[in-house]
């Protein structure tokens, strides 16, 4: 599906997605700004922003092998963890002034152990992340947020006040509002932006100074208001899964005529569909509740699958989706069970659904193309 959007702003987002250090981030570094890496969208980026740093979502963009990482991790670790660790061992993340983890899964948890021993990064912090979503876990995670604030402030020799934290929350909420506006435009009969382009916009937001990104996104939304939409799709697709930061994967789907109009991804709706409650009295408590209960959760959270399934079904309805594609990184334990449960739920609801396995770095494009073609034909599209 050929892009109909000729935009310098979109090109800047796409460039930021295709590389690690984009010009906006490099300019920030050149002016003495600090960058702190985040493994997983459960890291409360607002704390890093409040500390005067840019939160950077760790990606393996540009990786070509896992030779060094394979001395630490085995073939039963997912390819994202192996590629990202390999880049760390090669010094590709030398621009980071710190890195923060949550134990999303055992694969990512092990990266922290090897990074701490073998990579020279000034600041490292490992948070605990609950596996349930009750009020007990909200309190637990709020304490983890407070410990991150204290740890980062001590390392930087600063104080992170409640006022600074509220300012950061409002700034990130503004990002979420703008991104949700972008998604709302995709509900139209002829969406003005493709799924691949949207993913580039979303990924770029994890690698730029936040205010700069918001300004660019406002410009893009203005341009989209007068752009021609896509009317040549064979089907409207909802894409769900774990980490996906490469728009090329979605391009393969859209080349077959399946326009991705919505998603449930950790570079997509799970980061921005809901807002942090700005009416809370305590910003730390507000963040704790948002990350554990407020936003759409991922499969690592136990007991929340019915809610996740309901979210998917509502997205299908709201975006008038014809079929759902679920992508899973090979060896991802969290998504193995989730895919099976979604298959049962969507079958019962009469919603076409297909499960696809992939590696982190694009491979098997021909097979992906064939499976998507067959899926569209199965739907009569």
**In CATH, what number is assigned to the domain containing residue 33?**
3.40.50.11890
The span from the CA of 181 to the CA of 188, in Å, is 12
Segment 41-69 mean pLDDT: 97
Phi/psi for 81 (5° steps) reads -65, -35
186 falls within a domain: no
pLDDT at position 3 over 70:
no
Give the residue ranges of DSSP H helices in the chain.
Answer: 8-18, 23-30, 45-50, 79-90, 106-118, 135-156, 162-185, 195-204, 210-224, 247-255, 283-289, 305-318, 333-349, 365-378
The rounded percent of the chain whose pLDDT value lies above 90 is: 91
Average pLDDT score, the chain: 95
Segment 41-64 mean pLDDT: 97
pLDDT tens, position by position, 261-298 = 999 999 999 999 999 999 999 999 999 999 999 999 99
Segment 124-146 mean pLDDT: 97
- List all residues 6 or more positions away from 71 whose beta carbon is below 8 Å from its beta carbon: none
pLDDT at position 4 over 70:
no
320 falls within a domain: no
pLDDT at position 233 over 80:
yes
39 falls within a domain: yes
Positive or negative torsion for Cα 169, 174, 178, 180:
positive
Domain that includes residue 138, residue range: 19-163
The total domain count for the chain is 1
Question: b/e per residue, 180-199, with b = 16+ CB within 10 A?
Answer: eebbebbeeeebbbbbbbbb
Q: Which of 67, 106, 104 is nearest to 89 (CA)?
A: 67
**Do 169 and 304 touch, CB atoms closer than 8 A?**
no
62 falls within a domain: yes
Q: Which of 9, 56, 18 is nearest to 34 (CA)?
A: 56
The span from the CA of 21 to the CA of 302, in Å, is 36
CA 139 → CA 66, 144, 294, distances in Å?
A: 38, 9, 13
pTM of the model: 0.96
DSSP 71: G
3 falls within a domain: no
12 falls within a domain: no
pLDDT at position 1 over 70:
no
pLDDT at position 364 over 90:
no
The rounded percent of the chain whose pLDDT value lies above 70 is: 99
46 falls within a domain: yes
31 falls within a domain: yes
């Amino acid at each position: 599906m050929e892009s109909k959007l000729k935009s310098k702003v979109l090109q800047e987002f796409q460039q930021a997605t295709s590389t690690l250090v984009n010009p906006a981030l490099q300019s920030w570094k050149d002016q003495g700004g600090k960058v702190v890496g985040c493994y997983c969208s459960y890291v409360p980026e607002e704390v890093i922003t409040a500390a005067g740093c840019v939160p950077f979502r760790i990606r393996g963009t540009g990786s070509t092998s896992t030779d060094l990482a394979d001395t630490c991790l085995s073939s039963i670790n997912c390819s994202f963890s192996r590629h990202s660790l390999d880049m760390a061992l090669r010094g590709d993340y030398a621009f980071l002034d710190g890195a923060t983890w949550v134990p999303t899964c055992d694969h990512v948890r092990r990266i922290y152990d090897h990074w701490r021993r073998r990579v020279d990064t000034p600041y490292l912090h490992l948070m605990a992340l609950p596996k349930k979503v009750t009020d007990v876990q909200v309190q637990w995670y709020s304490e983890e947020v407070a410990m991150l604030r204290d740890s980062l402030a001590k390392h930087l020799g600063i104080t992170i006040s409640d006022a600074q934290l509220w300012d950061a929350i409002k700034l990130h909420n503004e990002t979420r509002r703008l991104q949700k506006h972008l998604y709302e435009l995709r509900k139209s009969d002829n969406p003005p932006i493709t799924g691949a382009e949207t993913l580039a916009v979303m990924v770029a937001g994890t690698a730029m100074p936040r205010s700069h990104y918001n300004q660019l996104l406002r410009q893009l939304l203005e341009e989209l208001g007068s752009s021609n939409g896509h009317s040549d799709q064979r089907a409207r697709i909802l894409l769900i899964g774990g980490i996906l930061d490469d728009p090329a994967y979605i391009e393969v789907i859209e080349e077959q005529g399946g326009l991705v109009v919505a998603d449930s991804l950790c570079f997509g709706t799970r980061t921005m569909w809901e807002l942090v409650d700005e009416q809370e009295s305590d910003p730390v408590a507000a963040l704790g509740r948002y990350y554990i209960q407020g936003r759409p959760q991922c499969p690592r959270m136990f007991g929340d699958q019915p809610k996740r399934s309901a979210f998917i079904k509502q997205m299908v309805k709201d975006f008038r989706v014809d079929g759902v594609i679920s992508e899973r990184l090979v060896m991802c334990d969290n998504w193995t069970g989730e895919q099976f449960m979604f298959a049962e739920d969507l079958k019962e609801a009469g919603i076409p659904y297909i499960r696809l396995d992939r590696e982190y770095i694009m491979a098997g494009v021909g097979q992906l193309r064939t499976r998507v073609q067959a899926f569209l034909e199965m739907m009569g599209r």
